[in-house]
Amino acid sequence: MATETPLLVETQYYNIPENIQLDSGKEFGPITVAYETYGSLNSRKSNAILILHALSGDAHCAGYHSPEDNKPGWWDMMVGPGKPIDSNKYFIISSNVLGGCKGTTGPSSINPETGNPYGLSFPIITINDMVKVQKKLLEHLEIPQLLTVVGGSMGGMQALQWMVSYPDSVYSCIPIAATSRLSAQSIAFNEVSRQAIISDPNYNNGDYYDGPYPEKGLAVARMIGHITYLSDESMHQKFGRRLQFQEELSYNFLTEFQVESYLHHQGQSFVRRFDANSLLYLSKAMDYFDLAAGANSLEKTFSRSNGHYLVVSFTSDWLFPTYQSWEITSALQKLRFPVTFTEIDSQYGHDAFLLEKEQLGALLANFLESTHQQFEEELS
């Protein structure tokens, strides 16, 4: 299915000409959106797919930025020529979310009124606010209706929000390892991560851009988060209780187990590519997300949507466990919406949507092919 031809892409930017009304009640702008596209839009504009990233993702979901680039996009195994989300067949859009730090306006962006980074003067945002910005991008690209919206984790939450907020603009939806609202446990993990950042002496109430960076706090926050993305089985198989550099215990507080060294590496790598304030804002947006809020039930919320659904969960995902995907599926089934639910047997935990290439890839390819055919028939 895969091809050896490298996919070269360029990040593009769109400046939204008007302010956005945020869920908090505030008007906010200007907003710049970073996005990438793959493939070509057909004459009927019926093959457009919007890919929505997870908390630490960005617009670069596939391909390379140059022939010398040695690191592909975060979902390169799924997106590109001949891949499950095939850029030879579909026009694929991927954008960085509002509040992010990879090109779309966020707390590290310059506030035009002050000439300094927003920091904590950046407004509180929601998943719905992210989707509002994405809708403006789609209007700019002159795409009236998407074939599908697809995303894992926070991306799946955005996909569900799309179906509720703009039901006439999306034909199908693929939420992967997602939920209609965070559990108390997930909110708790997010709060501990935020406190790790805020408690760093260098955090300086979010105004650290011209001074020492809160590296330790952000690294610890990433370590906490990364533990929740894995599973007990995957950590056991990958690390067990193996020591990193010696054969015997050293009886001190140095990093000596392989799993400890791995987490430190993940933390330090994250510090080099992500903004601490963005982590605060995006994790809080996830906490606020509750698709049934105001409607008292998921069924009532989904009743104002339509479309075809493929809901995917993973057996070892304890962060967004299968019962949460089943709650979504059950509500859709009660409404007699066309929905397929699949639980993939995987040892990789929540991160399985980034790792289960074969099983997940086959599901996506088959669903997109059949859904695209139905969409074309309905347009005829």
Q: Which residues are catalytic?
A: 153, 317, 350
Q: Is 17 exposed, middle or buried (0-12, 13-18, 19+ CB in 10 A)?
A: exposed
CB 160 within 8 A of CB 174: no
What are residue 234's phi and psi, to 5 degrees?
-65, -35
H-only helix segments in 213-275: 215-229, 232-238, 258-271
CA 203 to chain centre: 25
CA–CA distance from 84 to each of 169, 360, 361, 367 (Å)? Answer: 23, 9, 5, 10
* CA separation for the pair 200, 23 (Å, rounded): 30
* Other beta carbons less than 10 A from residue 45's beta carbon: 16
- Comparing CA positions, the residue from 307, 111, 113 lying closest to residue 209 is 111
β-bridge mates for residue 148, sequence order: 49
CA–CA distance from 60 to each of 75, 80, 151, 253, 280 (Å)? Answer: 8, 12, 14, 39, 22
